[in-house]
Amino acid sequence: MTQTITKVNKQGRIVIPIELRQQLGLVAGSKLIARLEGNRIILEKPDDVFQRLRSTFNSSDSIVEELIAERRAETANE
C-alpha cells in the first residue's frame, strides 16, 4: 500500500502525488468519482465503480427469479 501526506489548499484542492497517479494510470483530465464513506473520502475511476456495481447486480442469483420462486412456494402452500 502506498501512503503519503498531502494538503488541502485555500480553494479546497488537493494534489494526488505522482507515485499514486502513476500507479493508477491517472493523467491530466482523468475523471474520478468522489464519495464519502464515514470519515473517509474515496476516489475511484468511473470504470472501476461501474465494474463493482455490475458484479453486485449481475450475481448468478436473480432477484426476480427468487421472488417468483417464493410466490410459487406460497401459492403451493395455500
Which of the two residues, 63 and 12, has the higher pLDDT score? 12
CB proximity list for 43: less than 8 A, separation 6 or greater: 16, 32, 33, 34
Q: What is the pLDDT of residue 9?
A: 96
Cell digits of residue 22: 502513476
| pLDDT at 57 exceeding the cut of 80 | no
CB proximity list for 49: less than 8 A, separation 6 or greater: 33
Q: What is the pLDDT of residues 19-32, one digit of tens each?
A: 999 999 999 999 99
For residue 59, how far is the Cα from the chain centroid?
Answer: 16
